[in-house]
Structure 1
Amino acid sequence: MNVPGWLLRHRVTVEPYEGDSAYGPAYGPPVPNVPALVSESVRTVRNKEGREVTSTALLVTAPDLHCPPESRITLPSGRVTKALHIARHTAPGLPVPQSAEVSCE
């Protein structure tokens, strides 16, 4: 069971990070109108290298979201940020919703 769609009131655009190229970071095609619940609040999280960094936005989305760390995300406010950490919450066999939590710069 996934997080109910009616809880995901915001829409964001995700450009999946595909690695570095000779010209800088490379991103996949933008995926517009991704349902999410956005909380623009400051908190401390660990990035992909394990260092503590400050996150200024948190997204709760469906668990199948393709959003690797460093992906570019456009928030409903129009602010463009990058994904720092993605946590997938699953509970096989339990009647609780599954979701993905994306911490952003």
Structure 2
Amino acid sequence: MVSVPDFLLRHRVRIEPYLGESAYGPRYGDPIEDIPALVAEAVRMVRAPDGREVTSTAQVITAPGLTCPPGSRLTLPGGRVTTALTVAHHTAPGLPVPACMEVSCE
């Protein structure tokens, strides 16, 4: 399977993977710095894991295999901190289309 080419991933983002809830609120893993990505700040409607329709204001494309469950914190190139709403893994086995991961953010 071919991954999305690095030269297309022009931005850099920071991800703090969501680990779950604790008595003090959400818990996050160690930050993953300087992740190559392609960021599109556009408004789209997406369906959250609980079934609600929510507004996504940024979409982040990365190489496949990144640890970023819904609820993770992302710092976008402009410094805005946002939360991952949904994560989609795009693959097309047998086709000459690159695999990637798309994270829709608040």
Specify the TM-score bucket, using the shorter chain as the normaliser: over 0.9
CA distance in structure 2 between the aligned counterparts of 1:95 and 1:36, rounded to whole angstroms: 20
Structure 2-normalised TM-score?
Answer: 0.97
Which residue does the alignment assign to 2:46?
45
Q: Distance in 1 between matches of 2:13 and 2:84?
A: 12
Where does residue 82 of structure 2 map in the other structure? 81
1:97 matched residue in structure 2: 98
Amino acid at match of 1:35: P
Deviation (angstroms), 1:50: 1.2
Structure 1 partner of 2:35 = 34
Q: Distance in 1 between matches of 2:20 and 2:92?
A: 31
Count residues in correspondence.
Answer: 105
Equivalent residue number for residue 65 of structure 1: 66
Which structure 1 residue ranges, 4+ long, deviate > 3 Å from structure 2? none
The residue type paired with residue 52 of structure 2 is R
Q: Which runs of 5+ in 1 are unaligned?
A: none
- Report sequence identity in percent: 67
Give 1:92 deviation, angstroms: 1.4
Rounded to whole Å, the distance in 1 between the matches of 2:76 and 2:63 is: 16
CA distance in 2, matches of 1:40, 1:96: 23
User: What's the RMSD between the two structures over aligned residues?
Assistant: 0.5
The one-letter code sitting in structure 1 at the alignment partner of 2:93 is: P
Q: In 2, distance between residues paired with 1:21 and 1:4? A: 38
| TM-score for both structures, normalised by structure 1 | 0.98
Deviation at 1:86, TM superposition (A): 0.5
Provide the rounded CA distance (Å) in 1 between the counterparts of 2:93 and 2:51: 27
Unmatched 5+ stretches in structure 2: none
